[in-house]
Chain A
Amino acid sequence: MLPVYICEDEEDIREIQRECLEKQILIQGYDMEVALCSGRPGEILEAVKAASGRGIYFLDVELKGEEMDGFALGREIRRLDPRGFIVYVTAYGNLAFETFRYHLEALDYIVKESRAKMEEGLSKSLSVITERMRAEQGERREFFSVKVMDVVKHVPIDEIMFFEAAPGTHRIALHGVNDWFDFIGSLRELEGQLGSRFLRAHRAYLVNVEQIAELDLKDREIKMKNGERCLFARNMKGALLERM
């Protein structure tokens, strides 16, 4: 059962939210329960710490009189519950939501315009969350997760072509179908982490064997399925041909 947390400093609105959520859970038969409603971020964090599992969070962005605002609370919750669902509730329709989504992987935001709109937003959020969880269960896709400065990026392993190391630095570039980004790391560690699906074809390259399209033996280049090319070392030719 998924615990639902509400952090909202105005008591009336908090009650409306609780009523609405409880009603929706009952009507739709969701496997959830409202675990805590509070105006204090500290209380919410205590409860999340104690629960240690995935949760659903409806957080007010502007928390008056508290040392923590909704963004900071979201960040703390993310630390405790990396897979939880965070939805923001705000009085202003002009929330910098991309920033929230980027840093906190926030799911959505609801504007407290009128009771009807808010209730609509709440029930929509619950149905989106249920949908997501259902999709996750069906999916057997594996992800590669890596910390890039202050965010964690996730890339499906079958979308990664290869990793490229820049010499003299600890910079690694991930080349994927839809991604190309740099992060700090070492190819040796990645090799250990990713296992046999990836082959260290060259001093500077760790290649996803399943994504190789063909080998150019003359130029010692590997052509990937997305058309990208990388190099392989002379002594890796045998290992590559064997694995393809």
Chain B
Amino acid sequence: MSFLEGFVFNMISAVSGLVSVVFVGMAVLKALPGGRRRWGLWRTASAAACLVMIVWIATFFYKKGLLGNFFVLTLVDYLRLIGYACCVSLLFRVKFRKCWSIVLFEECVRECSNVLAFIGFTDRPLVLSIPEERRTYLLLGTVGVLAVFLLLLFLLHKMKVGDAYRQWMEHRNLWSRGMICLSAYPILFYGATQTLMGGGASRNASMGVTLLMVAAALILFHHMGLEEWQRREFAAQELILQQQNAYIKTLEGMQEEVRRFRHDYRNMMSGLYLTAEEGELAEAGRFLQEMTEDFDSQIGGQIRQMGQLSNVCITEVKGLLLAKLAQMQREGTACELEVMRPFQQTRLRTTDLCRCLGVLIDNAMEEVRGQEGARVHIMISSQEGYTTFRVKNRLYHSVDVHRIWQQGYSTKGADRGIGLASYRKILEGYEDVLPATAVQEGYFIQEFKVRERNGK
């Protein structure tokens, strides 16, 4: 095979590999942005150049006959992986870190499907000079591997591996540990196969052992993820507990108020009785009015808020609202919460819902903090199969509606506004959720609507 032929073949396999990485990144892990993208000229060109360079190096080593060497093989493999990650990073404008994890994930799955496809058929390397064996090899190498690959991806997709992987990528600590482990995988793979085969084990056995190692690594990995998950679950429960305590405190406070009011009310009633007896009806009317107003101002507001809150039937959301209400009370911000009808369920995952609501409420709180007559309005409305979440606050700065989603844009200085970017990102993952932002009569309004049922 001439250098050019080798180069062309390698190029085809590299491009198909890249396509597969992009496919996995978009469809299974959903870590790459879909949708409209401008393919910048120089970015595409550099990605292509990167690919060509790696293929050239690989072909060069191949022609020199160096690929039999374990170190060279591993080196070329790493080069290839890094090249893929660079290309994806350039084309999709995504951080290298993220691309690297996608590439590794794809590589693991593909290598596994490779091993699985061959392991079932032969227990020795196929001799490519025999036409029949070559045909089997080609068939297995293309259709067989592809079928197993797609099957594995489908299974992983069904197992919601994308969610787990994304969560995992968000945790820097876990990410780095896992990445080191996964990054060593190609070395381990080749190393193990080489050592075992050198030790006289059959090809299948050595591949089987390697597969087991990969499986073990993945299980370890999964376990680490699980640990992290449990830790977070524990923290979440702790939070719920704290919120429940806050709830009880509020109720006790209200009871105290009612008790005090009952005491005052006795006195007021006797006063009223006297005025009425003296025939001063206007005075009595005024007295009554005052009494109702007193009641309203003392505990009416709290009762009302608790009443609205009791319409929120999702514990985590209730907890979030309680925490925010308490925080606003401390900061001297008045909060009006409206939940007219019971809000029982929504299509949004609870964690996502809490994050989104949290971002919007935090933003509103920050805008009005320290201002005179600070007030935030929160509405959750379930109507005819749709749920609307709406947060409204008075604006004290001027806001560019179309810029608030840009990462880092904020009216409050640098390093802010990250929340809104992630809010938008979370909602983009849902088909039936429509976000809206508006500036109306001096108010800033953020809402998202969820269609809870299909076919409407």
The chain A residues found within 8 Å of chain B, CB to CB, are 71, 93-94, 96-99, 102-103, 113-114, 148-151, 153, 161, 166-169, 171, 175-184, 204, 226-228, 231
Minimum distance in angstroms from B429 CB to a CB of chain A? 12
Q: Which chain A positions have C-beta within 8 A of B355?
A: none
Closest to B377 in A: A98
Interface membership of B107, Cβ < 8 A = no
Minimum distance in angstroms from B336 CB to a CB of chain A? 7
The listed residue (B285, B289, B438) touching A179 by CB distance below 8 A is B438
B438 touches A98 (CB 8 A): no
Q: Which chain B positions have C-beta within 8 A of A180?
A: 401-402, 436-438
Q: Which chain B positions have C-beta within 8 A of A150?
A: 383-386, 388, 449
**Cα-based distance from A184 to B401 in the complex (angstroms):** 20
Q: Which chain A positions have C-beta within 8 A of B400?
A: 226-227
Q: Which chain B positions have C-beta within 8 A of A178?
A: 401, 438-440
Q: Which chain B positions have C-beta within 8 A of A103?
A: 381, 383
Q: Which chain A positions have C-beta within 8 A of B304?
A: 94
The listed residue (B36, B388, B401, B434) touching A183 by CB distance below 8 A is B434
Closest to A165 in B: B36
B449 touches A114 (CB 8 A): no
**Cα-based distance from A178 to B445 in the complex (angstroms):** 10
Q: Which chain B positions have C-beta within 8 A of A228?
A: 402
Given A166-B35, A231-B38, are A99 and B434 neighbors across the interface (CB < 8 Å)?
A: no
B386 touches A149 (CB 8 A): yes
The chain B residues found within 8 Å of chain A, CB to CB, are 34-36, 38, 285, 289, 292, 296, 300-301, 304, 308, 336, 338-340, 377, 379, 381, 383-386, 388, 390, 392, 400-403, 431, 434-440, 449, 451
Minimum distance in angstroms from A54 CB to a CB of chain B? 23
Q: Which chain A positions have C-beta within 8 A of B392?
A: 98
Closest to B438 in A: A179
Q: List 28 A-B contacts (CB under 8 A).
A: A71-B340, A96-B340, A98-B377, A99-B381, A102-B379, A113-B289, A113-B292, A114-B285, A148-B449, A149-B386, A149-B449, A150-B386, A150-B388, A150-B449, A151-B449, A166-B36, A167-B34, A167-B35, A167-B36, A168-B34, A177-B401, A178-B438, A179-B438, A180-B437, A181-B435, A183-B434, A227-B402, A228-B402
A182 touches B388 (CB 8 A): no
Minimum distance in angstroms from A29 CB to a CB of chain B? 30
The listed residue (B38, B379, B402) touching A99 by CB distance below 8 A is B379
Minimum distance in angstroms from A230 CB to a CB of chain B? 10
Q: Which chain B positions have C-beta within 8 A of A171?
A: 434
Closest to A226 in B: B402
Of listed A99, A149, A167, residue having the most chain B CB within 10 A: A149
Minimum distance in angstroms from B380 CB to a CB of chain A? 9
B437 touches A96 (CB 8 A): no
With A98-B390, A167-B36 given, name 14 new contacts (CB 8 A): A94-B296, A98-B338, A98-B377, A98-B379, A99-B338, A148-B436, A161-B402, A166-B36, A167-B35, A171-B434, A177-B401, A178-B440, A179-B438, A181-B434
Q: Which chain A positions have C-beta within 8 A of B381?
A: 99, 102-103
Minimum distance in angstroms from B28 CB to a CB of chain A? 17
A169 touches B431 (CB 8 A): yes
Q: Which chain B positions have C-beta within 8 A of A71?
A: 340
A99 touches B340 (CB 8 A): yes
The listed residue (A161, A184, A204) touching B36 by CB distance below 8 A is A204
**Cα-based distance from A226 to B38 in the complex (angstroms):** 22
Closest to A171 in B: B434
Closest to B451 in A: A149
B34 touches A148 (CB 8 A): no
Closest to A161 in B: B402
Given A148-B434, A175-B402, A180-B402, are A98 and B336 neighbors across the interface (CB < 8 Å)?
A: yes
Q: Which chain A positions have C-beta within 8 A of B285?
A: 114
**Cα-based distance from A177 to B35 in the complex (angstroms):** 24
Minimum distance in angstroms from A200 CB to a CB of chain B? 15
Closest to B388 in A: A102
Closest to B433 in A: A182
Of listed B384, B402, B440, residue having the most chain A CB within 10 A: B402
Given A149-B451, A150-B386, A180-B401, are A96 and B431 neighbors across the interface (CB < 8 Å)?
A: no
Q: Which chain B positions have C-beta within 8 A of A177?
A: 401
Of listed A175, A181, A226, residue having the most chain B CB within 10 A: A181
**Cα-based distance from A169 to B432 in the complex (angstroms):** 11
Minimum distance in angstroms from B402 CB to a CB of chain A? 5
**Cα-based distance from A151 to B440 in the complex (angstroms):** 16
The listed residue (B35, B434, B451) touching A168 by CB distance below 8 A is B35
B36 touches A182 (CB 8 A): no
Q: Which chain A positions have C-beta within 8 A of B451?
A: 149
The listed residue (B300, B338, B386) touching A96 by CB distance below 8 A is B338
**Cα-based distance from A94 to B435 in the complex (angstroms):** 28
Minimum distance in angstroms from A158 CB to a CB of chain B? 16
Q: Which chain A positions have C-beta within 8 A of B436?
A: 148, 153, 179-182
Minimum distance in angstroms from A232 CB to a CB of chain B? 12
Minimum distance in angstroms from A235 CB to a CB of chain B? 17
Closest to A150 in B: B386
Kindly list the 6 A-B residue pairs having the minimum CB-CB distance in the complex, ordered from nearest: A181-B436, A96-B338, A178-B439, A94-B304, A182-B434, A150-B386
